[in-house]
Amino acid sequence: MVLNKHQTQLKQTENVPAEGTVTDTGTVFSDSVHESILIPANVGFVGCGNMAQALLHSFIKKELVNPSCVIASAPSDRNLSKLRTWGVKTTNDNNKVIKQCDVIFLCVKPHLLRKMINELNTLEADHSPLFVSIVSGYDLNTLEEMLSVLVHAPRVVRTMPNTPSMVGQGCCLYTLGTHTSPADSVAMNSILSSVGFCAEIPEYQMDAACGLAGSGPAYIYAAIEALADGGVKMGLPRQLAQTLAAQTVKGAATMVLEHGKHPAQLKDEVCSPGGTTIAAMHSLEKNGFRNALISAVEAAALRSIELGSDK
């Protein structure tokens, strides 16, 4: 990863680790692949909404960045005031972030991105930051074209994180742009692994990943709420019902991730012949439970494609 002349090189391992698996669908690394590294560069955030806060909180918690080396910008103090309590420098001037930082996270709303970039000043020739976009709908080709007005051959990474990154249980998929280097890939994986699961995927899979992992937490929150409502209907106190619902979802997810069994097998192991669970599963099937989830992922992915075509 190339930083400017005032910064030192990121510490990184010499080779791609054996624990990583490389397939034709992308590169997946485990959390233990890279050492935790302190990023010696200045890190910038343009936009400070929920997703930016989730990422930054995770980076600081895992001690990957020194808060004093972070600069965040937003048009108002609504979110910036919170970041200042973390020790982060803030500004209302996006140009300060672009000029002073070596890794820049673009976290603005999709409809604001082009206007924001058009208002930035051209960078000096010896300053070529790594731009990391979390903006939905903008593909690498478009991002590179837009950012080329600021710097020649911009180094761009497109990412798709989700909000559980705030508690270190997120997913973050990323794909590398034309002008990035293998060192950028190693650095991105080391940084983004701090949010939970991290994987490099081909760009054509990004919209599907958005429909599943990007929007997915909302589906699960709705499921937890509905399960808790069911518990309340059948006589449980609200707080207990909500805790049981959330813990049940967490436990089931952990079983899938740690046991390596297919979800259908795990489901079958709960369904005793003639028991309560198989009766419940029949009710879910009659009400289109699985069809509803498949359709939700499809709808979100298609909307992500629409956002890209509406630019």
Q: Say if residue 96 is in the same domain as residue 242.
A: no
> Could you tell me if residue 37 is inside a domain?
yes
Domain that holds residue 218: 214-309
Beta pairing, strands 196-200 & 26-29: antiparallel
Same structural domain, 196 and 245: no
Question: 121: annotated binding-site residue?
Answer: no
Residue 90, domain CATH: 3.40.50.720
Residue 300 has pLDDT above 90, yes or no: yes
CATH number of domain containing 299: 1.10.3730.10
Residue 113 within a domain: yes
Is 195 inside a domain boundary? yes
Cα distance between residue 172 and residue 192, in whole Å: 7
pLDDT tens profile 244-261:
999 999 999 999 999 989
Q: Are 107 and 135 in contact (CB under 8 A)?
A: yes
| Secondary structure of residue 175 in the 3-state scheme | strand
Residues 285, 157 share a domain: no
Around Cβ 307, how many Cβ atoms within 10 Å?
Answer: 17
pLDDT given for residue 310 in this prediction:
67
154 with 183, same domain: the answer is yes
- The token pair at 72 is 């965040």
Looking at 153, 185, 206, the residue that finishes a domain is: 206
Residue 90 included in any domain: yes
Asked if residue 12 is part of any domain, the answer here is: no
51 DSSP 8-state letter:
H
Among the three residues 176, 206, 236, which one is the final residue of a domain in this structure? 206
Instruction: Assess whether 195 and 222 both reside in one domain.
Output: no
Q: Is residue 8 part of a domain?
A: no
Same domain (yes/no): 65, 196 = yes
Residue 192 sits in the same domain as residue 70: yes
Q: Alpha-carbon distance 230 to 235, whole Å?
A: 9
Which residues are CB-neighbours of 15 under 8 A, at least 6 positions away?
A: none
Distance between CA atoms of 158 and 160, rounded to whole angstroms? Answer: 7
Q: Are residues 238 and 116 in the same domain?
A: no
Q: Across the chain, where does the E strand assignment appear?
A: 21-23, 26-29, 43-46, 70-73, 89-91, 103-106, 130-133, 155-161, 170-176, 196-200
Per-residue pLDDT tens digits for 177-206: 999 998 888 888 888 998 999 999 999 999
Q: Give tens-digit pLDDT for 78-130.
A: 889 999 999 999 999 999 999 999 999 999 998 899 999 999 999 998 899 99
Same domain for 258 and 276?
A: yes
How many domains, the chain?
Answer: 2
Q: Are residues 250 and 272 in the same domain?
A: yes
pLDDT, position 39:
63
Asked if residue 141 belongs to a domain, the reply is: yes
| 41 and 178 fall within a common domain | yes
Q: Does 155 lie in the same domain as 40?
A: yes
Q: Report the chain's mean pLDDT, rounded to a whole number.
A: 86
**Of 206, 227, 258, which closes a domain?**
206
